[in-house]
Structure 1
Amino acid sequence: MKGKIVLIVGGSGGIGSATAKKFGKEGAKVVLAARNKVKAEEVAKEINDNGGEAFAIETNATDPEAVERMASEIEDQLGKIDVLINAFGQGIIQPFMEIDTADAKEIIDVNVYGTFLVTQTVMKHMKEDGPTSVVMFPGTMGKYVMKNASVYAASKFAIQGFTKALIEEQRRGKTKFSLLYLGGVDTAFWDDERVSMKVKKEMMLTPDEVADAVFYAVNQPSGSVLNEMVIQPESHQLV
């Protein structure tokens, strides 16, 4: 990964932060993009203090102008992007009839439209003369469903379908797409008041474990691609 430009959208905490540190440790030039630039800068500083090379940039995944500005600045200042990791998203776990319509729209806007917008825009700024990678996180809710996950699962299934269609469309291209279906991960996701579940976070996957999986996916040999991976906690995490 030495010198590779890795863009992590949603890099200010949780999976994005841990993944940034992993790639920074391995010599990549890491760009952490987030709505909260202050937190992203804190992560970037930690990477830089440990001998890595990291940068923070503010963006909004649902704002076309902000996303284009982010991608253009990266290309202008660092070069063409090698790896895109879409580590952003929002969750909602509530009974269907109790879901606020504004919350449902926000989840779909961020998780579905945001993923489309970021991916399409960044791919225009990725290297054309070498292999590139795009990593998505549909989570297990993008593969299986559970009670009270109607809107969230819909958004995650959309990411799965979107990515698989891209794979077919880009089959003759040089971009590798990886779908990571993660079970419960110990992140701030569970602190959102819209996620109405009792969980044991200590029994979940850690962000560092996920970061190792992302690094493994991106670093497959040139003649192969890790299309899909399911990672679950050893024990069922619900109370």
Structure 2
Amino acid sequence: MKDKIVLIVGGSGGIGSACAHMFAKGGARVVLAARDQQKAEAVAREINESGGEAYVIGVEVTELASVSNMVREVTEDLGAIDVLVNAFGTAVIQPLLDIKPDDAKEMLEVNVYGTFLVTQTVVRYMATEKKGRVIMLPGSLGKYPMKNSSVYSASKFAVTGFTKSLIEEHKRSGVKFTLLHIGGVATSLWDSPTVDMRVRKDKMLTPREVGKAVYYAANQPEGSVLNEIVLQPESHQMV
């Protein structure tokens, strides 16, 4: 990954932060794009003080002007984006009849429309360069539905279908796509007021373990692509 340009959208904490540290350790030039720039700057500072190279840029993933500006600045200042990691998202995990419509709408806009907008904008540049890798993280709920996850799973299944269609669409463009169905990660997502679940974070995967999987997917030989894997903590095994 030496000197590769890696754009991590949602790089202010959790999985995004862990991915940033992993890529920087591998020699990549990492760009942390996030709504919360202050948190992203703290991550970048840790990386830079450790001898890595990290930059921060603000973005609102549901606003075209903001996304376009992000990609333009990265490509103009650093060069063509080699790897895009879509590590952002929100969650509403509640019984259907308890979900507030405004919460559902916001989540769908971020998880589905935001993913579309960021991916389309970056892939437009990648297709011109005829190279690049896109790593999607729809989670295990983008493959296996769960009780009380109806709208959240809908948003994650949308990302899975979106990505599988793009794989077919870009087989000859040089752009490669990876789906990582990661389940049960110990992040702040579980502390959200819109997530009605009691979980054991000590039994979950760590963000660092997820970062290793993302790095592995992005670091495949030029002539190959890791299309889709499922990574679960032992306590969450699916049959």
Q: Which TM-score bucket, shorter chain as reference?
A: over 0.9
Secondary structure at the residue paired with 1:124?
helix
Q: Answer yes or no: is the 8 Å Cα contact 2:15–2:208 preserved in 1.
A: yes
CA drift at 1:124: 2.2
Q: Answer yes or no: is the 8 Å Cα contact 1:136–1:178 preserved in 2.
A: yes
Deviation track 1:159-210 (CA, whole Å, cap 9, x = no partner) reads 0000000011101111110000011100011010100000000100000000
Q: Answer yes or no: is the 8 Å Cα contact 1:81–1:127 preserved in 2.
A: no
Secondary structure at the residue paired with 1:102?
helix
Question: What is the Cα-based RMSD across aligned positions, in Å?
Answer: 1.1
Residue identity over aligned pairs, in percent, reads 61
Secondary structure at the residue paired with 1:126?
helix
Q: Which residue of structure 2 lines up, in the alignment, with residue 74 of structure 1?
A: 74
Gaps of 5+ in 1: none
Distance 1:43 1:171 in 2: 35
Q: Which amino acid aligns with 1:198?
A: R
Aligned residues: 237
Secondary structure at the residue paired with 2:69?
helix
Q: Which residue of structure 2 lines up, in the alignment, with residue 29 of structure 1?
A: 29
Distance 1:234 1:164 in 2: 27
Q: Answer yes or no: is the 8 Å Cα contact 1:72–1:125 preserved in 2.
A: no
Q: Answer yes or no: is the 8 Å Cα contact 1:93–1:152 preserved in 2.
A: yes
Q: Which residue of structure 1 lines up, in the alignment, with residue 49 of structure 2?
A: 49
CA drift at 1:222: 1.8
Give TM-score scaled by structure 2 length: 0.97
Q: Which residue of structure 2 lines up, in the alignment, with residue 170 of structure 1?
A: 170
Distance 1:49 1:142 in 2: 36
Q: Which amino acid aligns with 1:29?
A: R
Q: 1:147-226 alignment to 2 at 5 Å?
A: 147-226=147-226
Q: Which residue of structure 1 lines up, in the alignment, with residue 64 of structure 2?
A: 64
CA drift at 1:158: 0.1
Gaps of 5+ in 2: none
Q: 1:122-133 alignment to 2 at 5 Å?
A: 122-126=122-126, 128-129=128-129, 131-133=131-133
Q: Answer yes or no: is the 8 Å Cα contact 1:80–1:127 preserved in 2.
A: no
